[in-house]
Amino acid sequence: MVFMLNVKCKKIRGKIMKVAGPVVVAKEMAGAKMYNMVEVSDERLIGEVIELKGDKAIIQVYEETSGLKPGDVVVSTGRALSVELGPGIIGSIYDGIQRPLELIRKNSGIFIRRGERPDAIDKKRKWHFFGCVKKGNKVHAGSIVGSVKESGAIENRIMVPPDVSSGVVRKIGDGKFCVDDVVCEIDCANGAKRSITMCHVWPVREKRGYAKKFAPREPLVTGQRVVDMFYPVAKGGTAAIPGPFGAGKTVTLHQIAKWADADIIVYVGCGERGNEMTNVLEELPKLVDKNTGKPLMERTILIANTSNMPVAAREASIYTGVTIAEYYRDMGYCVALIADSTSRWAEAMREISSRLEEMPGEEGYPAYLSSRLSEFYERSGLVETLSGKMGSVSIIGAVSPQGGDFSEPVTQCTVRVTKCFWALDAKLADMRHFPAVNWNKSYSLYARVLSGWYKERLSDDWSHARAELVKILKKESELKEVVQLVGMDALPYRDQLTMLAAKIIREDFLQQDVFHKNDSYCSVDKQMKMMNVILKFYDEGNKVSGDIKKIREMDCARRIALLRYADEEKVDTEYKGIVKGIADEFSKIGG
């Protein structure tokens, strides 16, 4: 975490008068402003002003506050809490305030020392800069002046910082530079001269600008059938994934992080258990990107703020993640931000609010919980950047309601601002059904908007096929109550066929095996073929009136179940064989 902009600011020195957990009250702070960054005590602990009362400043400290005492010095820098943006972020692992954890581990071991402030980006490493503008070219805030190869998969496009007015390029570099070296010089329209480096800073609570925002028009393909076919999320859209403990939120988010067709993945572990973040850190470096054939970490940024870290830093971790996501969006990339989980963030806000003695809202959460969640999710979107490129930030946030109660405040506030709702069900998880997305409670408001893409990319029948499968599952839910009373054999043939088709949908389509290479990720083409063969089976079954036991034992039913494990290259052959097999076997049954 760094200061905002290279400008001189008057420092205000005060003294601690009260310490209450992560909250510190300092006096003699007249002149300080809201959200100013401060340094607390001689150890220079990082903090932020969150409330002002006369000459008193209430500060939330992002590090452990034990040992602080009244009289210790507090220094307000006059600058906003910010992140450092430039080449070297991709593949990094940061804590909630953008301290590089790998560098800290090398310097001081596995525990972060208080007051430790290593650079977020390596200032000594040299990058080969390729200028893409010439002397005399006109540029403005957001214009791309050059690029460096940040990783095997990502090109970091060096932009004119947002605080620079329009002007003319006076000098442009080409060659190897450190991130703080000047690579471009601009004569601004107002007469000022500005030197551009490959690195700049941005306040985490402030949205980055763009030229125009558009309605979503393309899905974020995740390779998870229940998501892509039933409840799709758009690039630039928002999604919530609530569920009780053990329902598989983290595993589902890991799958999306691994397989989503985003250019950049920003994974924020906000208040999660250390072992869960360890799994992410161990798995991602081993995974190969299906699009580039290179390690997945070459397009991933991890922000690890585990549950044993200071509670105030959880709030910062969310803002740090979304600011980094917007930075790469401005280069023209599609970014997926995954936050696990926003409930821990809300709990941190609740604790800070109670320390401030604010009037509590529902279940003790602060009254501004809804507005904070809205501000966060509203930073998603598909935009035309200031440089004229198209970029997007998609935000997927996990929610952890206690006992799976979706009526609790965090879930309800999230539902109001997100357009995609993947409700996880503990009962499905207990049945080993993963992803445990409950098809009766989940929904996506993007389905109609994205139908044009699916129609063009896959088939004119996508909307119809999706609606038919959902209808079969809903019908099964209604029939279950009858089955419990009279038994399956008492149902008429058509209802028994519906129950069989629903079972195939649940077990052979909606379920996915994380550990099987051909089932962990499923292309949209394969998904569409799977939907088609299930509907073909159901439609052909409705044309006859045979013995349901014989239909269950059909070879085509077995082949439908095995289609999910078929290699992507062999799916088309398998699909044609199954379709022919269904027609042949049902024709033998007759009417």
* Residues 363 and 302 occupy one common structural domain: yes
Asked which of 198, 226, 248 is the last residue of a domain, the reply is: 198
* Residues 263 and 360 occupy one common structural domain: yes
Specify the pLDDT at position 293.
73
Specify the pLDDT at position 474.
95
Q: How far apart are CA 88 and CA 101, in angstroms?
A: 14
CB–CB of 393/399 below 8 Å?
no
CB–CB of 411/373 below 8 Å?
no
Tokens 């307000």 — which residue?
A: 76
Query: 25 by DSSP, 3-state: which?
Result: strand
Instruction: Kindly report the CATH number assigned to the domain that includes residue 331.
Output: 3.40.50.300
Pair of tokens at residue 84? 């450092």
- pTM for this model (two decimals): 0.93
In a domain, 530, yes or no: yes
In a domain, 451, yes or no: no
Instruction: Kindly report the CATH number assigned to the domain that includes residue 180.
Output: 2.40.50.100
Structural domains counted in the chain? 4
DSSP E strands: which ranges in 54-133?
56-61, 73-80, 82-85, 93-94, 127-131
In a domain, 61, yes or no: yes
The boundaries of the domain holding residue 143 are 122-198
Per-residue pLDDT of the chain in tens (591 residues, 90 and over written 9): 443 334 445 689 999 999 998 999 999 999 899 999 999 999 999 999 999 999 999 999 998 898 999 999 999 988 888 999 999 999 899 988 899 988 888 888 777 888 888 899 999 999 999 999 999 999 999 999 999 999 877 899 999 988 788 899 999 999 999 999 999 999 998 888 999 999 999 999 999 999 999 999 999 999 999 999 999 999 999 999 999 988 989 889 989 988 999 999 999 988 877 777 777 777 777 777 777 777 788 889 999 888 878 888 888 899 999 999 999 999 999 999 999 889 999 999 999 999 888 899 999 999 999 999 999 999 999 999 999 999 999 999 999 998 889 999 999 999 999 999 999 999 999 999 999 999 999 999 999 999 999 999 998 999 999 999 999 999 999 999 899 888 888 899 999 999 999 999 999 999 999 889 899 999 999 999 999 999 999 999 998 887 888 888 889 888 999 999 999 889 999 999 999 999 998 888 765
In a domain, 453, yes or no: no
Q: How far apart are CA 115 and CA 496, in angstroms?
A: 67
The DSSP secondary-structure symbol of 506 reads: I
In a domain, 101, yes or no: no
The residues, ordered by sequence, that sit 6+ positions from 143 with a Cβ below 8 Å of its Cβ are 133, 159, 160, 386, 387
Give the residue ranges of DSSP H helices in 32-140: 101-108
Q: Cβ-count burial of 159 within 10 angstroms (0-12 exposed, 13-18 middle, 19+ buried)? A: buried
Q: How far apart are CA 354 and CA 348, in angstroms?
A: 10
* Residues 180 and 296 occupy one common structural domain: no
Asked which of 198, 229, 244 is the last residue of a domain, the reply is: 198
Instruction: Kindly report the CATH number assigned to the domain that includes residue 23.
Output: 2.40.30.20
* Residues 339 and 240 occupy one common structural domain: yes
